[in-house]
Amino acid sequence: DQQVKQNSPSLSVQEGRISILNCDYTNSMFDYFLWYKKYPAEGPTFLISISSIKDKNEDGRFTVFLNKSAKHLSLHIVPSQPGDSAVYFCAALPRNNFNKFYFGSGTKLNVKP
Amino acid sequence: DTAVSQTPKYLVTQMGNDKSIKCEQNLGHDTMYWYKQDSKKFLKIMFSYNNKELIINETVPNRFSPKSPDKAHLNLHINSLELGDSAVYFCASSRLANYEQYFGPGTRLTVT
């Protein structure tokens, strides 16, 4: 019973273009959402987050959009760079337990030079 | 200076053996976690400790026993290893109620 889903296992984008990574969730109790980036043989690293009271959060080239009614969030990377090639995990936190993270299965992004 | 470190990085062992994975963080965080990344690549939380106290214990077999000797360490001991235990195990830490977790590099466990 996966409550956070990333239905695209991989995505390939040309350098300089926009990368859009998607994430869907089922639990309406989720109150906070995060994106992590993972390189091979390393642990995930925090990238950007968004609270459920917002619908957009921007940090440099990275923007996360939240659509609560659709239970959907997305990460936009503009412009994409080859160094962005990694696996991106979406994660969610329920409002009644801010230590229990629910992760998706990841999307592998390949940015081609 | 590594923030969250795990040892060993790779562990190959036979069914039935007992093994431990160690985790240490030097970030001064008070909350530590163990995650299992299964064959489908989902990261699933197993345990969480805050100030050496267990706060999250998911439906993990009793063969898995976390031990936190102090705030900076959270070790994972696994008894009677089974084939299904093969996975990558990640340790992480954070400040309590701070959403940003710092992960270790992972330990790839292979049970043969």
Q: What is the DSSP secondary-structure string of chain B?
A: --SEEEE-SEEEE-TT--EEEEEEE-S--SEEEEEEE-TT--EEEEEEEETTEEEEE-S--TTEEEEEEETTEEEEEE-S--GGG-EEEEEEEE-TT----EE---EEEEE-
Residue B65: inside a domain, yes or no?
yes
Q: What is the pLDDT of residues A23-60, one digit of tens each?
A: 999 999 999 999 999 999 899 999 999 999 999 999 99
CATH of the domain at B44: 2.60.40.10
Query: How many domains in chain A?
Result: 1
**Whether residue B97 has pLDDT greater than 80:** no
B3: Cβ contacts below 8 Å, ≥ 6 apart: B25, B26, B27, B93, B102
CB pair distance less than 8 Å for B45 and A2: no
Which chain B residues are closer than 8 Å to A6 by Cβ?
none
CB pair distance less than 8 Å for B106 and A42: yes
Residue B103: inside a domain, yes or no?
no
Query: How many domains in chain B?
Result: 1
**Whether residue B26 has pLDDT greater than 90:** yes
CB pair distance less than 8 Å for B40 and A105: yes
- Residue from A6, A36, A99, A105 whose CB has the most chain B CBs within 10 Å, to mutate: A99
Q: Which domain holds residue A44?
A: 4-112
CATH of the domain at A62: 2.60.40.10
Mean pLDDT of A4-14: 95
Q: What is the pLDDT of residues A64-108, one digit of tens each?
A: 999 999 999 999 999 999 999 999 999 999 887 777 889 999 999
- Closest CA in chain A for residue B93: A99
Residue B106: inside a domain, yes or no?
no
The partner residue sitting opposite A99, judged by closest CB among B41, B43, B55, is: B55
Q: Which domain holds residue B39?
A: 4-95
Which chain B residues are closer than 8 Å to A36 by Cβ?
103
Q: Measuring CA to CA, how many Å separate A76 from each of A23, A112, B52?
A: 12, 16, 38
Mean pLDDT of A106-112: 97
Measured between CA atoms, how close is B79 to chain A, in angstroms? 25
Mean pLDDT of B52-80: 89
Q: What is the DSSP secondary-structure string of B80-92?
A: S--GGG-EEEEEE
The pLDDT assigned to B1 comes to 62
Residue B104: inside a domain, yes or no?
no
